[in-house]
Amino acid sequence: MAENVSKTKKLFTVGGLVVLALGIILYFAKEPLGLNRKIYDLPVFLILIGLGFALKGFMSKAKSEDDLDLGSKSFGEFLTNNAILLAMLVLVVVICILQPRFMQIRVALDILTQSSTKLIMALGICFALLIAGTDLSAGRMVGLSAVISASMMQTATYANRFFPDLPQVSIWIPIAAAVLACMLFGALNGFLVAKYEMHPFIATLATQVIIYGACSLYFDMPPNNSQPIGGIRPDFAQIGQMRLFQGIYPGFPGISILIPISLVICVIIWFVLNKTVFGKNVYAIGGNREAAVVAGINVFRNIMFIFILASFLYGIAGVLEAARTAGATNNYGNGYETDAIAACVVGGVSMSGGIGKVGGIVMGVLIFTVIQYGLQFINVSPMWQQVIKGVIIAVAVAIDLTKYRRK
């Protein structure tokens, strides 16, 4: 077996170096060969991918016992286990052939940008999934947070101001207000689930309806009267639109600030789940609630905290959506929860609780966004996009379940 393993590692290293070399050659050859408009930034991607693989090969050599990845599994098993990922790669290749513009760094960055808020949502909702629950109120919380923050962040000269006499407040006040409002409803979720042992499906369904109603009431307050909120202050819009390192080399579009924001949140959530008492308790409650009670875990407090933390993340997502689009309506976030749940599930989070990793969730969100973005890119009809999305969810979960069932 050990030989097998080192073989895989060699494969990684050598393959990676080959791809890397190809990338470098193409990078310098594309100008003279006139391939600029045919392969766009492909060389850069090749260089990055090659580097990644080569590094993986090197790194795994260092700790040889731990990683039995490919070698011990049969090829067929490898295929089924990574079916969704492979399907995504095939799709990416097909799109690149159909529409070479896809091979641009700005496209990759745009995909990451669009993944960002989805990732924040998914990280929030994974807590509910980890305790074998769900959170249907997530999407509406985004709407609530977007409306509240946007309503206080309009320019003084805008014709249809939500609060006509509101002074130019610090941007942190509306953000805090929006996130706090979400956390309030998160606490309601947690209370219903923890206190009355209500199934999260029902509890969050009730909250979802309440939030939408409350948000619509707020949105309908005169003088706004359900008009879409616009005229957003540029300093607020910057939170979602700012781009870093713009133009460090000619034509570089810059990295959307949303990407580092979601990365930071990702790291924090990873830390919370893996390194804190709270995180361990979440897995324990999801794994066996009764045993958690016996072990002296304060289930009430933990569940409260789960829903409040999740709603905090939804609140952040809502603020970012409002800033990114420089506007808000009470319909923002509608249906986000289903996308987030789907991404989590594709990323290996079990609906029956206790199983799920941050890395998996990141993968799930990226796979989903790439596929959605790619299909849109080659102008596949939205109806077909829906069909494909549904198939992905079903296939991903089916594969996941067979993985666990295989004995």
Partner 1 sequence: MSGFLLEMKNITKTFPGVKALDNVNLNVRAGTVHALMGENGAGKSTLMKCLFGIYNPDGGEIFLEGKKVNIHSARQAMDQGIAMVHQELHPIRFRSVMENVYLGRFPGHMGVVDHKSMYDKTKALFEDLELDVDPLALAGEQSAAILQMMEIARAVDMKAKIIILDEPTSSLSDREVEHLFKIINRLRAQGVAFIYISHKMKEILEISDEVTIMRDGQYVGTWPVTDDKGEKLTIDFIIKQMVGREMTNQFPPREGKPSDEVVLKVEHVSSPLKKSFQDVSFELHKQEILGIGGLVGAQRTEFVEALFGLRGIASGEIYLNNAKYTNKNPGYAKSKGLALLTEERRATGIFGILPILENTVIANQKNYASLGILNEKRMRIDAGEECKKLNVKTPSLQTLIQNLSGGNQQKVLIARWLLTNSDILILDEPTRGIDVGAKYEIYNIMLEQISLGRSIIMISSEMPELMGMSDRIMVMCEGRVTGFLNKGEYTQEKIMALATQFAGHKENAA
Partner 2 sequence: MRKLFLILLTFLLIFSFTAFANADEIKIGACIYRFNDAFMLRFRNAMGDEAAKLGAKIEMADGRDDQTTQNEQIENFIAEGVNVLIINPVDRMASQPVIDKAKSAGIPVVFINREPASEMLDSYEKAYYVGAKAEESGIEAGELIAEYFKSHPEADKNHDGKLQFVMLKGQNGHQDMILRSKYSVEAIKNAGIEPVEIASAIANWDKLQAMNIMNGFAMSIGPENIEAVIANNDEMALGAVEALKNSDYNKGDKDFYIPVVGVDANASALDAMDKGEMLGTVLNDADNQGKAAVRLANALASGGDVKSIGYEVTDNKYIWIPYQKVTRGEKK
Residue 80 as a binder of partner 2 (CB under 8 A): the answer is no
Question: How many Å apart are CA 300 and CA 283, to the nearest integer?
Answer: 15
Q: Are 344 and 129 in contact (CB under 8 A)?
A: yes
**Residue nearer to partner 2 on the CB measure, 339 or 400:** 339
Residue 52 as a binder of partner 2 (CB under 8 A): the answer is no
Residue 373 as a binder of partner 2 (CB under 8 A): the answer is yes
Residue 276 as a binder of partner 1 (CB under 8 A): the answer is yes
Give start and end residues of each alpha helix (H) in 34-74. 36-39, 42-62
What is the token pair recorded at 109? 């960055």
- Four-residue CA torsion sign, 34, 15, 17, 72: positive
Question: How many Å apart are CA 402 and CA 344, to the nearest integer?
Answer: 17
Question: Of these, 15, 52, 71, 231, which contacts partner 2 (CB under 8 A)?
Answer: 231
Residue 284 as a binder of partner 1 (CB under 8 A): the answer is yes
Question: How many Å apart are CA 182 and CA 77, to the nearest integer?
Answer: 43
Question: Of these, 191, 314, 332, 368, which contacts partner 2 (CB under 8 A)?
Answer: 332
- Four-residue CA torsion sign, 370, 371, 375, 378: positive
Please name the residues in contact with 266: beta carbons below 8 A apart, sequence gap of 6 or more.
Answer: 119, 123, 358, 362
Question: Of these, 298, 376, 386, 402, which contacts partner 1 (CB under 8 A)?
Answer: 298
Task: Name residue 310's amino acid.
Answer: A
Kindly identify the residues of this chain, within the stretch 336-365, that bind partner 1 according to CB under 8 A.
354-355
Question: Of these, 55, 59, 86, 295, which contacts partner 1 (CB under 8 A)?
Answer: 295
Question: Of these, 76, 165, 379, 406, which contacts partner 2 (CB under 8 A)?
Answer: 379
| C-alpha distances out from residue 182 to 17, 153, 207, 322, Å | 49, 18, 11, 15
Residue 289 as a binder of partner 2 (CB under 8 A): the answer is no
Residue 294 as a binder of partner 1 (CB under 8 A): the answer is yes
Which region, judged by CB under 8 A, interacts with partner 2, from 17-25, 45-53, 174-182, 228-236? 228-236
- Shortest CB 32 distance to partner 2, Å: 24
DSSP for 164-215?
TT-----THHHHHHHHHHHHHHHHHHHHHHHHH---HHHHHHHHHHHHHHHH
**Residue nearer to partner 2 on the CB measure, 117 or 207:** 117
Count of CB atoms within 10 A of residue 37's CB? Answer: 9
Instruction: Give the interface size with partner 1 as a residue count (CB under 8 A).
Output: 23
- Residue 354, binding choice from partner 2, partner 1, none, Cβ under 5 to 8 Å by partner class: partner 1
Residue 325 as a binder of partner 2 (CB under 8 A): the answer is yes
Q: Which residues of this protein are in contact with partner 2, per CB under 8 A? A: 99, 101-102, 104, 106-107, 110, 114, 158-160, 216, 220, 225-231, 241, 253, 321, 324-327, 329, 331-332, 373, 376-379, 382
Q: Which residues of this protein are in contact with partner 1, per CB under 8 A? A: 271, 275-278, 280-281, 283-284, 287-288, 290-298, 354-355, 407
